[in-house]
Amino acid sequence: MAGTYRKPHAIMIPYPYQGHINPFVHLAIKLASKGFIITFVNTQSVHHQISKAQTGCRRDDIFAKARQSGLDIRYATVSDGFPLSFDRSLNEDQFVEGLIHVFSAHIDELVGNLVNSETEPPATCLISDTFFVWGSVIARKHNLVHVSFWTEPALVLTLYYHLDLLRRNGHFASPVNRRDNIDYIPGVKAIEPGDLMSYLQATDIWTVVHQVIYQAFDDVKRADIIICNTVQELELETISALNRKQPTYAIGPVFPASFTKSNVATSLWSESDCTQWLNDKPDGSVLYVSFGSYAHTSKQDILEMAHGLSSSGVSFIWVVRPDIVSSDETDFLPVGFEDQIKDRGLIVPWCCQIAVISHPAIGGFLTHCGWNSILESIWCSVPLVCYPLVTDQFTNRKLVINDWKIGINLCDKQAITRDEVVEKISLLMNGQVLDELRAAIKEVRKKLELALSTNGSSEGNFHQFVEKIKTQMREKVGIAANGHLSSR
């Protein structure tokens, strides 16, 4: 086959959560527009949920429209080992165990078929979510280039990557963890233990999620390439330090090609349209409140939040996911709340967040600090109130408040009070603090814009990353064909 040009064919597998599916889909489109063939894999359950969330039309293949526009993105769905009716949110440990042991076996089979396909250009690259513990194992077995896609800040990746240092220095997995600053992680300025990811602050460190963490951040060390949905200028030292270990490229933010419109359905819940409601509100007057797709909160916190929002006097849109407390606890808003807030507050189960926060009426975002929400809010220059709940959200808050100064904190402990909610909303939506936050977020936004411009860092890194994959793919094919490097 020497001399013949084969299109590069990459298999992409996101972790089956909204905050991971979104950047994976946008990256698939970006790679396909650079001439890649992509086989995008969702779990059957994710596919079913996305299809159900689409009103009006049934979509068996979420990339059908993208393909009509000339992109070669194929779509495959694979069982995660559980029936569609299984409640993955309520039984997370079991679900995550399934992703480790059963989903991986199905993926192994699918990858084998795509690699050995005789009629199609066989796949030569696997782009898998860093949280999967088996990415490099499957890639190596099938002789694929392994790209680990990290959908959180580089700071979070590097903290997990150096778990051994945290352990050795007594900041993690000690009978009593040290409380002083952590100042020995390469590329990270001193960081407080309270800014670590929730799993590293936990007392029980033998959960299923911890098993994932121990294995996934060992596995990532064998990836050929790491790509991060972040921006070099925002995390320069961290990215450089990671790069000294393994080829690491900051290619973010990975957004839809046209920011507010995507021709690929990704929402796991039906989106309520908030445009009409927002059109009637003055510019910058509405607070958007959302805790993302994954985190849960207590019924008590929801009550305090509701009373706080109601007493604040500010107009708001509040995304109250049906399973926000738990999927078997659905009656949690205060009695008569919706009547009480009338047309000042809009409660929706889900919406197109990007469309909402791009609307000029939005003036602030009370967020759980999911990484996508932070990137999207920066892009729309909307300052933040931080209310982290779990995982990387505590570390992301540190970036928002301490490093970039584009947001304020809701509270230090997890249980909130209505008074704190009123106080912080009023700080965010009025007065001098708001002016300072707005000025700061505009500066950070400029960095994102520059990074994404033709000569910007993310575009440059993306280009280098693509070239590196292609070179490594050619090397793999050469090795496979000849047992040594081909001279192509």
Residues that bind ligand UPG (CB under 6 A): 17-20, 22, 151-152, 267, 290, 292-295, 319, 350-354, 370-373, 376, 391-393
Q: Give the C-alpha separation, 438 to 298, whole Å.
A: 31
Tell me whether residue 9 or residue 368 sits nearer to ligand UPG (CB atom): 368
193, 197, 195: which is closest to 399 by C-alpha? 195
CA 311 to chain centroid: 32
Using CA atoms, how far apart are residues 16 and 128, in angstroms rounded to an integer? 11
Give min distance, CB of 44 to ligand UPG, in A.
20
Residue 9 or 397 with smaller CB distance to ligand UPG: 397
Tell me the C-alpha distance between 217 and 197, whole Å: 14
How far apart are CB 382 and ligand UPG at their closest, in Å?
A: 12
List 362's β-bridge partners, or say none.
Answer: 286
Give me the least distance between CB of 450 and ligand UPG, in Å please. 22
CB of 373 to ligand UPG, least distance (A): 3
Nearer to ligand UPG, 134 or 371 (CB): 371
Residue 169 · residue 150 · CB < 8 Å? no
- Rank residues 319 and 325 by Cβ distance to ligand UPG and give the closer one: 319
Alpha carbon distance 217, 205 (integer Å): 15
Residue number with CB closer to ligand UPG (248 or 372): 372
Tokens of 390: 């779990």
Q: Measured at the alpha carbon of residue 377, what is the angle toward residues 449 and 414, in degrees to the nearest 5?
A: 140
- Shortest gap between Cβ of 374 and ligand UPG (angstroms)? 7
The least distance separating ligand UPG from the CB of residue 291, rounded to whole angstroms, comes to 7
Pick 144 or 268: Cβ nearer ligand UPG: 268
Pick between residue 195 and residue 376 the one whose CB is nearest to ligand UPG: 376
Residue 488: count other Cβ atoms within 10 Å of its Cβ: 13
Distance between CA atoms of residues 321 and 347, nearest Å? 10
Which SS3 state, helix, strand or coil, does residue 403 take? Answer: helix
Nearer Cβ to ligand UPG (201/486):
201
Sign of CA dihedral 122, 125, 127, 133: positive
Residue 309 CA to residue 447 CA, distance in Å, equals 33
- Cα angle 216, 221, 224 (rounded to 5 degrees) comes to 115
Write down the least CB distance from residue 387 to ligand UPG, Å.
Answer: 12
CB of 383 to ligand UPG, least distance (A): 16
Cα dihedral 95/101/106/109 (nearest 10): 170
